[in-house]
Amino acid sequence: MTGPLVQARALRKVYASRRGIFGRVSHVRAVDDVSLEIAKGETLGLVGESGSGKSTTGRLVLGLEQADNGEVRFADAPMPSMGTQVWRTQRARVQMIYQDPLGALDKRLTILDQVREPLDIHDIGERSERDQRALELLRSVDLSAEHGRRYPGELSGGQRQRAVLARALATRPEFLVCDEPVSALDVSIQAQVVNLLCDLQDRLGLTMLFISHDLRVVRQVSHRVAVMYLGQIVETGSADDLFSAPLHPYTRALVSASPAPGRRSADRIVLQGDPPNPADRPSGCAFHPRCANALAACRVTQPTLSQPSATRSVACHLYADGQRSAA
Amino acid sequence: MTEVVVAHREARPRKAFWPALPVSVVVALGWIALMLLLACFSEIIAPYGFTKLDLRNRLAPPGTVGHWLGTDELGRDVLSRLVFSIRVSLLIAFGATIISATVGTVLGFLAAHFRGWVEQIVLMLADFQASMPFLILALAVLAFFGNSLPLLVGLMGLFGWERYARISRGLAISANAQGYAGAIRQLGARPSRIYFRHILPNIASTLIVSMTLVFPEVILLESGLSFLGLGVQPPMTSLGNMVGYGREYLTRAPWIMLCPAAAIVLTTLAISVIGDWLRDRLDPTLK
């Protein structure tokens, strides 16, 4: 193997928004200088609160949006620009799972037709065998032929998400971006879909970018985790390390906020204030107004990613000199 | 496995899409069916040719033996002329509606797909069309280019396209922004597949309903033009043409004008009733 399957370098995406007709145009840096690498067969979890740029990062990595800066490389080649023939052909190798499965399915086609669709688009296999292949795909996500004859409106949320998964897997993609795939499902169904995802990944050797705000799910699915805050990655590490010993104060707050049985709620870190407006980001470290451990430097200079150990990186002044001065 | 699947498919009852129809809709459907029947089999149904004169029976009132709806000032049978008029008027109305729906939808899709200056041009054309009294435009074109049935159908086809263009553009943009269309694009589908296999069926109900709104207007427009003497030219006949030439005998022989007028009113009404009902049936939010 020559390198990571997916490689993103210094991605930046700026959206312009205007308030009212004559309002000033303000620029929102949805994603700001994000770099990440995903090795073949690995799952990278991407966590962060709403508006932190997780989904935009996912779309940039997938080539669904053009980055303003930086580049995405897939399998050692730059991502072709959107809408070209090369781009379309490449879609067979990269796929996406959406948060809202009902929205992602065409209400007027049966499930089987929709699962079959990628095969028709990319002209895979004999025409006559495609229905059979679509049925196999449905079976691999625990849906029956009977489900295949129904319309999306006639399935439950979990069944729809599994149908979307079957469609995404139809072309045997190498890379899958899951954008909050279980957030819209209730907890019992979540487990079902998450287990199925883990299963399929083991079986098919998928590489995944798993975007979620649910730390428990991310921990279960991911090998490595990256934490985003306001368009930037503040900490990365292997899933177990990161969740058992979070370094960045924001990660610590996130981890302590997710409920775990048998832990007293007294030592929870409760973040003060709202996430800042991305159009008007604080100076220095974007997290400093809410940070309990903020230093004087945090107000002024933006921390860069440092590597406390070989597998971890964190963007925080507390660890800038390579040692843990606060814990 | 396959046999089982097939058996299941047949065993499953059809979706109850056509439950008991309201009486008004049944009547409207019946009327339209009758009109279509008359239009298709005009030669067989009409007792006389539409130019056949019967000078001994001029201005015969309805009920005269052999001329059940009476005759006009030249002794031509009103019933026969009515049957042929319905054929011509329906041909123009259907042709024009199909042309304008196709043109409008394609332009709307183009606008939604390319955005930018293509969209600006389409919208400008649509605004231009909407702000221009169509009758004036039609008068100008017919005055310059003379008159023939294909030209008339083509001209009428320009009527109302801007509504389809606006509707299809708006719906296609919203479909593209999120949801199924985005998902299909992500699968690597060509734009033609996205627009015609996915977006078109999803917005077809809205387009069909607006077709039923434009259709009566086309019939009325054709009647208006023919009434003014710019539409279908004699000896050819259409509903509006009959009304136009019948008005001179309004006091002495009202049946010449009233028969085609009644056909116009009933046909447009029937289409509107059907359109209303279709909108309720096809609107996914009402299901």
DSSP string, A36-100: EEE-TT-EEEEE--TTSSHHHHHHHHTTSS--SEEEEEETTEEPPPTTSHHHHHHTTTEEEE-S-
Distance CA A295, CA A298 (A): 5
- Residue B6 predicted with pLDDT over 70: no
In a domain, B9, yes or no: no
Our CA-based measurement puts residue A277 at a distance from the nearest CA of chain B, in whole angstroms, of 24
Domains of chain A: 6-93+173-319 (3.40.50.300), 98-172 (no CATH)
Nearest-by-Cβ selection for A91 from B1, B187, B201: B187
- B283: pLDDT confidence band, cut at 50, 70 and 90? low
The interface residues of chain A toward chain B in range 5-64, judged by CB-CB distance below 8 A, are 62, 64
The interface residues of chain B toward chain A in range 190-219, judged by CB-CB distance below 8 A, are 190, 193, 198, 201-202
Within 10 angstroms of residue B119's Cβ, the number of other Cβ atoms is 18
Question: What are the chain A neighbours of B201 within 8 Å (beta carbons)?
Answer: 106, 108-109
Nearest CA in chain A to B186: A91
Question: What are the chain B neighbours of A107 within 8 Å (beta carbons)?
Answer: 180, 202, 284
Of A216, A156, A158, the closest CA to residue A182 belongs to: A158
In a domain, B24, yes or no: no
Determine the residue type at B230: L
Q: Is B252 on the interface with A (CB under 8 A)?
A: no
Question: What are the chain A neighbours of B188 within 8 Å (beta carbons)?
Answer: 87-92, 118, 121-122
Length of chain B: 287
Bridge-based pairing state of the strands A224-229 and A232-238 = antiparallel
Cβ separation A108–B5 shorter than 8 A: no
Which range, of B5-9, B15-19, B119-123, averages the lowest pLDDT?
Answer: B5-9
In a domain, B10, yes or no: no
Burial, A107: exposed, middle or buried (Cβ in 10 Å; 0-12, 13-18, 19+)?
middle
The interface residues of chain B toward chain A in range 158-197, judged by CB-CB distance below 8 A, are 178-180, 182-184, 186-190, 193
Cβ separation B186–A96 shorter than 8 A: yes
Within 10 angstroms of residue A229's Cβ, the number of other Cβ atoms is 24
CA dist A178 → A44, A59, B215, B280 (Å): 10, 10, 47, 37
Cβ separation B188–A62 shorter than 8 A: no
pLDDT in tens, B22-77: 888 999 999 999 999 988 888 888 777 777 777 777 777 777 777 778 787 777 88
The per-residue pLDDT for A263 is 63
The C-alpha angle A166, A195, A120, rounded to 5 degrees, equals: 10
Determine the residue type at A140: S
The per-residue pLDDT for A50 is 81
Question: What are the chain A neighbours of B1 within 8 Å (beta carbons)?
Answer: 135, 145
Cβ separation A106–B12 shorter than 8 A: no
Distance CA B223, CA B263 (A): 11
In a domain, B22, yes or no: no
Substitution target in A108, A176, A179 with the highest count of B β-carbons within 10 Å is A108
The per-residue pLDDT for A184 is 80
Q: Residue B236: which CATH number?
A: 1.10.3720.10
Order of strands across the sheet that contains A305-309? A94-97, A175-179, A207-211, A43-47, A224-229, A232-238, A312-315, A305-309
In a domain, B146, yes or no: yes
Do residues A61 and A73 make contact, with C-beta atoms less than 8 angstroms apart?
no
Q: Which residues have a Cβ under 8 Å from the Cβ of A246 and sit 6 or more positions away? A: A235, A252, A254, A255
- Residue B241 predicted with pLDDT over 90: no
Q: What is the domain count for chain B?
A: 1
Of B87, B53, B89, the closest CA to residue B71 belongs to: B53
Six token digits for residue A143: 């849906």
Distance CA B204, CA A286 (A): 49
Six token digits for residue A164: 């979307």
Substitution target in A117, A150, A154 with the highest count of B β-carbons within 10 Å is A117
Our CA-based measurement puts residue B185 at a distance from the nearest CA of chain A, in whole angstroms, of 8
pLDDT in tens, A190-203: 888 888 888 888 88
In a domain, B32, yes or no: no
Nearest-by-Cβ selection for B179 from A91, A103, A117: A103
Q: What is the mean pLDDT of residues B106-113?
A: 92
- Residue B146 predicted with pLDDT over 70: yes
- Domain that residue B202 falls in: 47-52+67-286
Nearest CA in chain B to A103: B179
Sign of CA dihedral B94, B96, B98, B104: negative
Question: What are the chain B neighbours of A104 within 8 Å (beta carbons)?
Answer: 179-180, 182-183
pTM: 0.78
Share of chain B above pLDDT 90, in %: 16
Distance CA B261, CA B259 (A): 5
Nearest-by-Cβ selection for B188 from A105, A121, A146: A121
Nearest CA in chain A to B113: A83
Six token digits for residue A159: 């069944």
Our CA-based measurement puts residue B202 at a distance from the nearest CA of chain A, in whole angstroms, of 7
Cβ separation B187–A103 shorter than 8 A: no
Cβ separation A107–B284 shorter than 8 A: yes
Cβ separation B201–A108 shorter than 8 A: yes
Share of chain B above pLDDT 70, in %: 91
Cβ separation B202–A95 shorter than 8 A: no
The per-residue pLDDT for B28 is 92
Nearest CA in chain B to A118: B187
Segments of chain A with pLDDT less than 70: 1-2, 260-267, 321-327
Q: Is A172 on the interface with B (CB under 8 A)?
A: no
In a domain, B89, yes or no: yes
Determine the residue type at A175: F
Question: What are the chain A neighbours of B198 within 8 Å (beta carbons)?
Answer: 106, 109
| Complex ipTM over 0.85 | no
- Backbone phi, then psi, for A38, in 5-degree steps? -130, 120
Nearest-by-Cβ selection for A107 from B12, B178, B202: B202
Distance CA A210, CA A199 (A): 15
Six token digits for residue A312: 């971890």
Within 10 angstroms of residue A136's Cβ, the number of other Cβ atoms is 12
Distance CA B7, CA B13 (A): 12
Question: What are the chain B neighbours of A149 within 8 Å (beta carbons)?
Answer: 8-9, 12
Distance CA A286, CA A49 (A): 14
For chain A, how far is it from start to end, CA to CA, in angstroms?
38
In a domain, B257, yes or no: yes
Q: Is A82 on the interface with B (CB under 8 A)?
A: no
